Amino acid sequence: MAFSLSVPALAIAPAGQPWHAAAAAPALDGQTVSVPAEVTISPLAHEDYVSARARTSGSYAQMAATFTNYSGPIQWPFRAGVPISTDFGPRIPPCFGCSSFHKGIDMNPGNGSPIQAISTGVVGELSRVDNGGLGVYVTIDHNIDGQRVTSVYAHMQPGSVTVSEGQSVDVGDILGMVGNTGQSTGPHLHFEILLDGTTPTDPYAWLSERVIP
């Protein structure tokens, strides 16, 4: 299933979603991205979405683009809004060995989409090879308003990681490509925000407050 990210979220959003205000913000020049024909959302990701909707009524997980990015000091990990298939919090484990508390959000821009750093920081722990779990992943340590915040980017494509541990990165720098490594049921970015480097918080809420025009 392929669809355009340029469809206004409001046009196909279910009623009563809390992110209307952000989604309705006027698009900035250069924010519209055309999706290449080969970028598709996998059937597995779609099933993930259906089950997520069924068990998290009123959540923000859905197939429409769910946010608007802006070119500030903190940005979403994708240049333009993308679907989110699973949100943060308790869940029925989607696979054997998968956790029952989802520590992040699952973002579905399509296999091979470039993933960007959400803010200036220093690359921490990472894996270039698929050892299960997070698969090929990168972490970045940030100092945001005096607090240590770690961002985690998981299930990347093997061979796609562009950074090394200890390297400084700027907001928007490309870290790797969306893939399907580790405990993953279809190509997506599993994205976490860890406060003080350890405590998971809802990345959607955290970024929504900070990525503003």
Chain residues that interact with Zn ion, rule: CB under 5 A? 106, 190
**Nearer CB in complex with Zn ion: 20/55:** 55
Give every CB contact of residue 30 below 8 A, 6+ residues apart in sequence. none
**Nearest approach, Cβ of 177 to Zn ion (angstroms)?**
17
Q: Please, which residue, 31 or 47, has the CB nearer to Zn ion?
A: 47
CB of 86 to Zn ion, least distance (A): 6
Quick check: 208 and 200 in contact, CB under 8 A? no
Tell me the one-letter amino acid at 36.
Answer: P
Beta bridge partners of 42: none
Cβ proximity to Zn ion, 160 vs 184, nearer residue: 184
Q: Any idea what the Cα angle at residue 141 is, between residues 139 and 147, rounded to 5°? A: 140
Give me the residues paired with residue 154 across strands: 190
Backbone angles phi, psi at 131, to 5 degrees: -110, 30
Nearer of residues 24 and 92 to Zn ion, judged by Cβ: 92
From the CB of 3, what's the least distance to Zn ion, in Å?
21
Q: Which residue is nearest to Zn ion (CB)?
A: 190
DSSP one-letter code for 95: S
Residue 107 vs 126, nearer CB to Zn ion: 107
How far apart (Å, rounded) are the C-alpha atoms in residues 37 and 123? 32
CB of 85 to Zn ion, least distance (A): 9
Cβ at position 152, least distance to Zn ion in Å: 10
List the beta bridge partners of residue 177. 114
The Cα–Cα gap between 60 and 70 comes to: 20
Closest CA to 105 of 140, 126, 76: 76
Give the DSSP letter of residue 188: B
Of 43 and 213, which CB lies nearer to Zn ion in the complex structure?
Answer: 43
Taking the complex as a whole, how short is the minimal distance between the CB of residue 189 and Zn ion, in angstroms? 8
